[in-house]
Amino acid sequence: MKKVFSLIIALSFALLVAAQPANYYNSANGLTGNQLKVALHNIIKGHSSISYAQIWNAFWSTDNKGNGVVWDMYSDRPNGTSPYVYYLGEDQCGNYSGEGDCYNREHSWPSSWFNDQNTPRTDLHHIFPTDGYVNNRRGNYAFGEVGSASWTSRNGSKLGACKTPGFSGTVFEPIDEYKGDFARAIMYMSVRYFSEDASWSSSDMTSKSEIKPWAIEMLLRWNELDPVSEKEKERNETIYNDYQHNRNPFVDHPEYARMIWDPNWSVVEENSMEVYLFPNPIECGQTLHLSSNCNAFDAVAICDLCGRTLFKISGHLVGDFAVTLPDGFAKGCYIVKLMCNGNVLKYEKLLVK
């Protein structure tokens, strides 16, 4: 019987996988843990490098929000008006004295962590145009979740004491809408330079190219709570086609993150059960119908991407049955767990719009 990975997060990303070239990840199929990490490293290593000066020109196609506007994740407000706007080529740093003066080249994996080695120093998969002053405030601090902010940027990014379990030092926290972008960039760097890090330094977040346990747990959450966007997909395609000719695997396959770093990832046998959810996507307040060839379920649960149960019905659920979603469900991806005798028989993805 065909084997499938049972982790619920993998299914939640099915609608978001980028159109990577056919067979690009074939050598990684069926692997997990360190074996998957090694396979992905071998796929993406040895990329074509550009010069540090060429990064400015690359931003025109990798981070162009439209009409030459810089897509700066340290100043952008996706659901509101950005406090300031930069134009590609016109507002490059230069000197700056405060936020809003100019943009420069932010290494999301700070260059001091890899001792300024040439190849990672120009790797576009982790370099983004950002406000020079905010970039400087971030410095080489780890990404983290701030409990008490000592400084806040004009779009809400924060610097301050970390509240993420496992670390209490100073960290930089981007806004929620871009946490997944930075998480996938950091995970890319860990895999791309795996075993090529002999001269790298360590940091509060990393040990050479390895991500420390407290940080990987946080990045796994960020990867799931801020799913892959069209921005990231298009950026990944551009870097692959026009510059480096390698890809960020975590943009193409966000589920690889838990397949590598989550020890609870498991492989199970797929049974012949068929389940259909409709309507899917669904709107808040609508009735979700579940049609199945299974004899009966004893419970159906709707969960968030971290596996927390938000809504559950129990009983002898046979054939085609309905679940009425309560009002107030936020739009996004959810997981439907179908259970029998205390065991999860199948996971299905559900998109609420």
The rounded distance, in Å, linking the Cα atoms of 157 and 82 is 13
For the chain, give percent helix, strand, coil, nearest 5.
30, 25, 45
At 293, list the tokens.
């060839």
Percentage of the chain lying above the pLDDT 90 cut:
64
Say what the pLDDT of residue 278 is: 82
With CA atoms as reference, report the closest residue to 112 among 134, 132, 141: 141
Nearest to 122 by CA among 39, 37, 50: 50
Gap between the Cα atoms of 184 and 198, Å rounded: 23
Helix (H) / strand (E) containing 136: helix 132-138
Q: At what angle do helices 54-62 and 230-238 cross, to 10 degrees?
A: 140
- What's the pLDDT tens digit per position in 340-350? 766 667 777 77
Q: What is the pLDDT of residues 175-195, one digit of tens each?
A: 999 999 999 999 999 999 999
pLDDT, mean of residues 162-166: 97
pTM above 0.85, yes or no: no
Task: Indicate the burial class of 299 (C-beta count within 10 angstroms; 0-12, 13-18, 19 or more).
Answer: middle
Q: Evaluate whether 169 touches 203 at the Cβ level (below 8 Å).
A: no
Greatest CA separation for the chain? 69
Tell whether the model's pLDDT for residue 174 goes beyond 70: yes
Q: CB 265: neighbour CB atoms within 10 A?
A: 18
The whole-chain average pLDDT of the chain stands at: 87
Residue 253, token pair as written in the block: 């396959």
Q: What is the pLDDT of residues 242-284, one digit of tens each?
A: 999 999 999 999 889 989 998 876 543 344 567 788 888 888 7
Residue in 255, 194, 248, 247 with CA at minimum distance from that of residue 223? 255
Residue 313, pLDDT score: 80
